[in-house]
Structure 1
Amino acid sequence: MFDKLESIHHRFKGLEEQMADPEIISDQKRFMKINKEYKDLKPIDDAYHSYKEIKEGLESAEGLLNDKDPEMREMAKMELENLKDRKEQLDEEIKLLLIPKDPDDDKNAIMEIRAGTGGDEASIFAGDLHRMYMKYFETMGWKTETLYVNEGSAGGFSKISVEVKGEDVYGKLKFESGAHRVQRVPKTESQGRVHTSAATVAIMPIFEMEDIDINKADLKVDTFRASGAGGQHVNKTESGVRFTHLPTGIVAESTDGRSQIKNREIAMGRLYQKIREVQQAEFDDKVSSTRKSLVGSGDRSDKIRTYNYPQNRVTDHRINLTLYSLDKIIEGSIEEIIEALQVYENTEKMKEGLTI
């Protein structure tokens, strides 16, 4: 493990030198990329220095165990026990730090919420989820832009898409993909019966063009006039964009944005995500026939969470987490759930030694 830490330390020092290079400083995009990696590696570099200090301390204490002075030997023994305890604790911290991050975790994301089964109540619930997430985004200091809105006839939304920008957006939100189920008495229910409705959430990382390794010659691009809700502009201009990846036949399109440029960005992101999902499924099959990713393929038919209003209960079915604080969670306090999912994912990675 020390060799791994030493290798990362040399990389960290190299980044430090690059950040002082006038040529790199003048290239803002390149500087920001290097600065991001530098900040990501800093906790590991700090751990390297602590580990090195403990390692040297152990060697020094062990050398004093044979000292002629009994007091020195006793002090060395006590110091040795203390350093061993510190090393054991640091070992566990370093294991967590060295778990490979999903390379997409630091990306911005598009959140799409759709009403599912349940009629008007499903649209109202989709609106409740949107409000919950917007409150959470506010506490995180993230910026949002609504890309597409189709309101429900009784309130809420049949579909809404929001672009979210900030630090580690996708890394936090990726666990939200799937079907969210609500159990409560709808406002339209006269006899007080509890109904079950659903809304689906899809989280898509936003990729920069340099992130995407797709041969442009393999892409067929179509533009078209969008139809449906979204404003008059969609019927007057060819703002809709459709990409077809010829080698795989995978198709992705977007009419969510208000311009062709924005729709190209969204459609390309969707195309890349679909290709990534196919590649990930192939990887999972090769590695283990029994392993199932925590987030899965993002298939929105997977029921991931239930919001039970009569019991003030929220249950995440993937990790059997139940919290009796729905009143706070629906107001945006979802950090506890997200942290529990992150801990679970890291534990699974440590068990299996796999990367996403």
Structure 2
Amino acid sequence: MKPPQSLWRCWSTKISRGYCAIRLPLMKSASNSQTRLCSTEVQGNLSPELIKIMEQRLSAIECRSVALQNFLDQPETLPSDYANANREFRKLRDSIDLISELRAKQKEVAGLRTMMRECPEDREMMEMVTEELDQTEEEEKRLQKLLLNSLLPRDDADVRDCILEVRAGTGGEEASLFAMEIFKMYERYSQKKGWKFEVVDIAESDLKGFKEATAAISGNGVYGKLKFESGVHRVQRVPVTEKSGRIHTSAISVAILPQANEVDVQLRNEDLRIDTYRSGGSGGQHANTTNSAVRITHIPSGMVVSIQDERSQHMNKTKALKVLCARLYEIERIRINSGRSKLRAEQIGSGDRSERIRTYNFPQGRVTDHRVGITHHAIDDILLGEDLDVFVDALLLRQEMDAVASFSSVNT
């Protein structure tokens, strides 16, 4: 069922006009000014249709909470049934507290409106009641937005750390050089956010670019912030290897994977084949006399992870297992809930220049994200990690908008 058109028009209009709960600096764009979008909570006023749908859900939660409470009060309840009901009741507790606050504000609003109807001739009283009503209605709207946020579908992996994988695709050495720049862009962005950025492994090209590079990024809600960076990033510029000055188009692929723990992925020794060998290539000369590099093959899936970045074989093995667990965890997440995630192979793509989510055009000094239609004319600031939030926030806001539309569709 499609979401109500009036609801979608209402929210779309607010975005196009630049309505946003948090004001941010303006950024240069194709029209020289465009409001930066952000996503921290539901934006703007809720439409009457959405409030009506949400009220139906709130009433259902209230009824369920009462039923659970009555069930828990019964002395003959079996311990196992009591535990299950109590667990569900605890999950509803935060929503119930907010609903109680909302109901109290709604009662205040109704009382104030009644006062206005009863004393229309008392100007001083009307002014006092009107001011109080405005403040109470604002608080009511705030609580409605908080409740809507609590009802929207969430990805449990959003709070996790992540694994970043960058691979050179179409374009040879130029793609490898751009892969290095993008990898360092995320490193600078992570530093700006106060996250921990740990290089896991890098395979360099002849010109010191990155054929493949992997990092582990740790911090508050890292995966939820970066997950939409997965896909093919295209670059248009004159390569350093180009003698005639022609502009070339190359592509790299980025994958953002949520980190897994031992509870998420249980690796059995019999499912792993671990090989050690001597590190090679730039940066590996220190290990050429020892078998410090590690290659782990997950036999059931055929997945292979090779790490040679560290001097210690043990450290390389630890990093390889972390990456392997992240990849296997993502596959399992997709199997369980294919509608809210993409297969890792789809995230990475083939590296072909036609499969793009974002284009970095150096001659014009612009970066365009094709999913949200935003162009930013400060490519150097993007690559320095300074303005990457222009796209990250817009993509998160679009996800929020889709969740609101999905919420309306499911509950109508």
TM-score (norm 2): 0.64
Q: Structure 1 119/296 Cα, relative in aligned 2: closer, same or farther at 3 Å? A: closer
| 1:269 equivalent in alignment to 2:330 | no
Could you report, residue by residue, the CA deviation over 1:137-183 in whole angstroms, capped at 9, with x for unpaired residues?
Answer: 11001112111111121122111111111111111111111111000
Distance 1:255 1:4, change over 3 A: farther
- How many residue pairs were aligned? 312
Letter in 2 for 1:280: N
> Is 1:221 equivalent to 2:275 in the alignment?
no
Q: Which residue of 2 aligns with 1:300?
A: 349
Question: What 5-or-longer segments of structure 1 have no aligned partner?
Answer: 11-36, 285-291
Residue 130 of structure 1 pairs with residue 183 of structure 2: yes
Q: For residue 22 of structure 1, what is the aligned residue in structure 2?
A: none
Matched with 1:198 is: 251
Cα 1:296–1:69 change in 2 (3 A) is: farther
For residues 137-286 of structure 1, what are the structure 2 equivalents within 5 Å?
137-212=190-265, 220-225=271-276, 229=280, 231=284, 232=287, 236=291, 239-245=294-300, 250-256=301-307, 258-281=315-338, 283=339
SS of corresponding position for 2:208: coil
CA RMSD, 1 decimal: 3.9
Matches of 1:261 and 1:194 in 2, distance apart? 42
Question: Displacement, 1:4?
Answer: 7.8
The yes-or-no answer on 1:311 pairing with 2:364 is: yes
Identical counterparts, % of pairs: 30
Q: What's the TM-score, normalizing by structure 1?
A: 0.74
Distance of aligned partners of 1:263 and 1:174 in 2 relative to their CA distance in 1, 3 Å threshold: same
User: 1:252, 1:268 within 8 Å by CA — same for their partners in 2?
Assistant: no
3-state DSSP of counterpart to 1:315: strand
* Higher RCO (Cα < 8 Å, 6 or more apart): 2
Return closer, same or farther for 1:184/1:63 CA change in 2, 3 Å cut-off.
Answer: same
Three-state SS of the structure 2 residue aligned to 1:259 is helix
Structure 2: 5+ residue stretches without partners:
1-54, 67-89, 309-314
1:238 CA drift (Å): 8.2
1:44-123 matches, cutoff 5 A: 51-65=102-116, 67=118, 70-71=121-122, 72=125, 75-76=128-129, 79-80=132-133, 83-84=136-137, 86-88=139-141, 90-92=143-145, 94-123=147-176
Change (3 A) 1:349 1:313: same
Greater radius of gyration (CA) = 2
Maintained 8 Å contact 1:5/1:48: no
| Residues in 2 aligned to 1:318 and 1:295: alpha-carbon distance in whole angstroms | 19
Q: Secondary structure at the match of 1:239?
A: strand
